[in-house]
Structure 1
């Protein structure tokens, strides 16, 4: 039975990684194209962050009302149907005649992109306790691949055929994947008699638990820092004196591959009981990474070298901390993994939205230096939260 469970977990992790990569791409794909979309839609520089934040807001709603369904319904069917509904949102975005239609499409896509969290909970439940971190690392690496692929491919496609072609491509991928996961994911065999209301009530109670709330706050600051970099970096690179194209800006995402390595490695560390120290170390690295990322106003070669170093360290640190936190939470609340992951990711979504909107607003008044101070500040807040929450981890796990 253990071998069968391991095989099912592996299949689920691999299929979920593909679905997750594409779903998360729908949220972050606008980042390297912000300047181009802004020109086409007549959006001022200070308001560009809302193009990314709108998808995060839809994602936030989905985390609260859709992800808990995974604790009572067949998650294989949930994954397939949510991928299809996300594709509908992409169609609206691709054909949007104006800003409001664009935002509606992005919000709709974000709402159903929570398929990501359904897949995480499914993989965690199918894993043995000794391999849960490894499975989460495999699935989470799909996020990095999706974000990486989105940034690079979006930059190239937007340069060749305009930003709308990116959303058309994502629509097709979502439809294909919805069919694939229904065939590849194993049946979700559970006997759960809880009602939707009971599941939502249990989610609300999680917010009163010290371990859950502290890990949520860490996620909030972690992804606020992450959003600050990736929503703000395109602005100085596209401006004078560099004037880089969307394709050139998109290639900076290649450095984010380090995040996939961080996710995979952190999962293995978590399985050996080192999840909490890994989180603290990752947050310290995240703070330091802003020293390199802040050098976007020097000579072009120094910009490339230092910003790439900053991106590598930042993406590695973010994903290492992220996987470690999810591993701790799914181990502590194994009877409600979907609600736990969904609730945790509410903090993630709020942080990402804050980082995206704040960095563009601050950049318009204080330049890249202001955005760097903002991102580093978020990272320091995350590190402080981790330091203050170590007692909650000891109380839970002994």
Structure 2
């Protein structure tokens, strides 16, 4: 494969694509109350939509992303964009909650394009630029996730939740056309059967302690992130706020401030030990939930907390991936598949624990569940540092 550094234009196209594709996983969160009303379903039942989506994403990452080491990456990326478009259409025409849950699972399974693009970009970049390139692409990814809530909140309030899925489906087709003209072709690094490919994943888990540590820290960090965002719409619907989906989505714009720091974090990780920035990210994320707990019933408290939350999660994410991509490039796709699989299992767990905390203790319960998950991540980080 061409080892020349990536051009700035291609890096930004990959970042935009990653963000737009990842957004498909999060359009549903500000729409849950609207969907519940439209399909005449209870709020606790519609709360399974983001959970099922994240479970599907974890399955797709584990079963499909390793194909990036076995197949030509450009063709695989284009194929998955088209399949995601089909899944989004299925969600748009859902007649009941069960149908929408199945479609959400399909959306999760097929929306793996960002996790094919990230290792592809890392492999194309020069070693001394890898952190910056990964940080830029990841910045696009997280900004896409955050803007997804803003866009879907506005579209859901103005036009309806089905229209959001139709728009997302069309965007996937546009991206497929653009990428078909811009992405370079790759040469697969492996020549093995698919069962052997999947079997090698378990060997990598046993052999790579950096992967195990990064996966657990990332999973718990993203679990806390998901606990917040999957329950925010219900929190803001109650006193003292009484906000609708469009206002909930606007909080995604606030988080862009923190997400935009990813290239800076990547540069720091290039120059210093990324383990240090992992710990910094966990501290910042924990601080955000302490602010949510104490000042969450004030708008300024929520705004400050959202900025710190997205900054902390992004710092942990980019630093973990910088560590992973320092390992041999021959299995970057498989390493990324494992890391992101655990990452979104953590996200699904966080959504579940957030919903549980909300049902039992309301907002303080959500914050407590998130802090417990972050405690697990930080304890693992300290244990590794001592070893």
Q: Does 2:160 match 1:162?
A: yes
Deviates further, 325-334 or 79-88: 325-334
| Corresponding residue number in structure 1 for 2:45 | 47
| Corresponding residue number in structure 2 for 1:35 | 33
| Corresponding residue number in structure 1 for 2:289 | 290
| Corresponding residue number in structure 2 for 1:196 | 194
Query: Does the 8 Å CA contact 1:134/1:264 hold for their aligned counterparts?
Result: yes
SS in 2 for 1:188: coil
SS in 1 for 2:153: helix
CA 1:201 to 1:228, structure 2 compared with 1: closer, same or farther past 3 Å?
A: same
CA distance in 2, matches of 1:225, 1:28: 15
Deviation at 1:243, TM superposition (A): 1.1
CA 1:227 to 1:323, structure 2 compared with 1: closer, same or farther past 3 Å?
A: same
CA distance in 2, matches of 1:238, 1:295: 19
Q: Deviations over 1:264-293 (max 9, x none)?
A: 111111111331101101101111111222
Deviation at 1:251, TM superposition (A): 0.6
CA distance in 2, matches of 1:94, 1:333: 42
CA 1:76 to 1:55, structure 2 compared with 1: closer, same or farther past 3 Å?
A: same
Equivalent in 171, 187, 199 of residue 185 of structure 2: 187
| Corresponding residue number in structure 1 for 2:364 | 369
| Corresponding residue number in structure 1 for 2:375 | 380
How many residues matched?
A: 386
4+ residue runs over 4 A deviation:
none
CA distance in 1, matches of 2:49, 2:312: 26
| Corresponding residue number in structure 1 for 2:254 | 255
Q: Does 2:299 match 1:304?
A: yes
Query: Does the 8 Å CA contact 1:47/1:360 hold for their aligned counterparts?
Result: no
RMSD: 1.8
Equivalent in 65, 68, 71 of residue 69 of structure 2: 71
Deviation at 1:372, TM superposition (A): 0.9
Could you list the runs of 5+ residues in structure 1 that have no partner in the other structure? Answer: 393-398
CA distance in 2, matches of 1:287, 1:21: 25
Structure 1 length-normalised TM:
0.93
Could you list the runs of 5+ residues in structure 2 that have no partner in the other structure? Answer: none
CA distance in 2, matches of 1:297, 1:327: 33
Q: Does 2:325 match 1:315?
A: no
CA distance in 2, matches of 1:286, 1:75: 34
Deviation at 1:296, TM superposition (A): 6.4
Q: Does 2:242 match 1:243?
A: yes
CA distance in 2, matches of 1:226, 1:191: 34
Q: Deviations over 1:330-389 (max 9, x none)?
A: 112422000000000111111111111221232122111111111111112211111112
CA distance in 2, matches of 1:326, 1:122: 13
| Corresponding residue number in structure 1 for 2:225 | 226
Equivalent in 165, 171, 174 of residue 173 of structure 1: 171
Deviation at 1:16, TM superposition (A): 1.9
| Corresponding residue number in structure 2 for 1:395 | none
CA 1:388 to 1:241, structure 2 compared with 1: closer, same or farther past 3 Å?
A: same
Deviation at 1:30, TM superposition (A): 1.1
CA distance in 1, matches of 2:22, 2:98: 22
Q: Deviations over 1:200-219 (max 9, x none)?
A: 22211121132211111101
SS in 2 for 1:285: helix
CA distance in 2, matches of 1:47, 1:258: 33
CA distance in 1, matches of 2:368, 2:88: 34
Query: Does the 8 Å CA contact 2:88/2:168 hold for their aligned counterparts?
Result: yes
CA distance in 1, matches of 2:276, 2:229: 26
Deviation at 1:252, TM superposition (A): 0.9
Query: Does the 8 Å CA contact 2:89/2:165 hold for their aligned counterparts?
Result: yes
Deviation at 1:123, TM superposition (A): 0.5
| Corresponding residue number in structure 2 for 1:100 | 98
Deviates further, 154-163 or 377-386: 377-386
CA 1:365 to 1:48, structure 2 compared with 1: closer, same or farther past 3 Å?
A: farther
Deviation at 1:309, TM superposition (A): 0.4
Query: Does the 8 Å CA contact 1:12/1:186 hold for their aligned counterparts?
Result: no
Deviation at 1:323, TM superposition (A): 0.6
